[in-house]
Homo-oligomer: A and B are copies of this chain.
Amino acid sequence: MTEPTIDVLGIGNAIVDILVQTNDSFLTDNDLHKGAMTLVSFDEQMELYEKTGQAVESSGGSAANTLAGIAALGGKAAFAGKVKADQLGVVFSHDIRGAGVTYETERAKDGAPTATCLVLITPDGQRTMQTCLGACVEFGPKDLDLAQVRDAKVTYLEGYLWDPEPAREAFFHAAGEAHDAGRKIALTLSDPFCVDRHRDGFRSFIKDHVDIVFANEEEIKSLFQVDDFMEAANKVQGMAEVVALTRSEKGSVIVTPDEMITVPTKPIEKVVDTTGAGDAYAAGFLAAYTSGKSLKHAATLGSLLAALIIQQIGARPSAGAQHLIKALEG
């Protein structure tokens, strides 16, 4: 077996974020569920967009943010996800490559436009998201480069991609191919509402195909429909080799079949924008994990990168993030 040349291959929605500063009454007036990601049609998104003030556009997508983070930390990163050959498709492609990530998925020539996510940021730094999946729903098994899957230490799947049917199919192809080649499959549960939509599917997919699971407190509780975090942690134990459970300011808990490791994090001075905190944690974790570091080390780097991201506007770190590794390794 040849040595893998990619540390992490991410498969996810290819989205351009539209970031708007707003206030809580705007959320209430428009019946929006604070903190959630909601799937909407193009027209629904436009209707809301027209009510908002000046915005800024910035490439996003959960797994894409994670892969950009891995590259910023010096890891070898690749991404697969679908845009259309339109202006925002050019923006997404430019930014992921500009972040140092290999990206070669063919652009759709017609059909729905490149996906956009309207991110409403309230003064407390929380984000409420309205996503129009657009061209992302076209991503399917034919877009999967199986050679790339075999060539990656870890293939990282974004839970949100469970929504569009052809992408879900691609997940099973990727998992089969990765395991045949002796590689690992990682999955993030993405969002408690996403878990709610796909609870049974996620549970059996994790049990049968996933080596590394990422979830926050709300997501793992939703997966087992329990109210207590430790109850959820106990239930997930043994379902995968590694389960990394993030708990915001409480740090994270790493669950393996044999143990539970609590890894605390340092307090943050000022939360500016929580967009991308979970994505950044996964980036730090996987960058360390694929370079052979301990699970505790991986969890610590995850929390450090997440802390960096929530103290800035936008979900992707600058190339300068490698100082975190140096700080960690002393």
Interface size class of A (residues with CB under 8 A): 20 to 34
Q: Distance in Å from the Cβ of A175 to the closest Cβ of chain B?
A: 30
Chain B residue with Cβ nearest A113:
B87
Residues of B near A113 (CB, < 8 A) are 87
Chain B residues near A220 (CB, 8 Å)?
A: none
A98 located at the interface, meaning its Cβ lies under 8 Å from any Cβ of chain B in the complex: yes
A12 within 8 A of B: no
Q: Which of B50, B53, B54, B98 contacts A53 (CB 8 A)?
A: B98
A316-B54 contact, Cβ under 8 Å, with A49-B94, A94-B49: yes
Q: Give the contacts of A75-113 with B (CB-CB under 8 A).
A: 86-88, 91, 94-95, 98-99, 113
Say yes or no for A68: interface residue by CB 8 A criterion.
Answer: yes
Nearest to A72 among chain B residues (CB) is B54
The interface bits of chain A over 217-243 (1 if a CB of B lies within 8 angstroms of the residue's CB, else 0) are 000000000000000000000000000
Q: Tell me if A256 counts as interface (CB < 8 A to partner B).
A: no
In the assembled complex, A294 has its CB within 8 A of some CB on chain B: no
Q: Are A56 and B57 in contact (CB under 8 A)?
A: yes
* Copies of chain A in the complex: 2
Q: Is A126 an interface residue (CB 8 A)?
A: no
**A271 CB-CB contact with B under 8 Å:** no
Q: Does A248 contact B (CB under 8 A)?
A: no
The chain B residue with its CB closest to the CB of A320 is B21
| A91–B21 CB distance below 8 A | no
**Interface set of A (CB-CB < 8 Å, partner B):** 21, 49-50, 52-59, 68, 86-88, 91, 94-95, 98-99, 113-114, 314, 316, 318-319
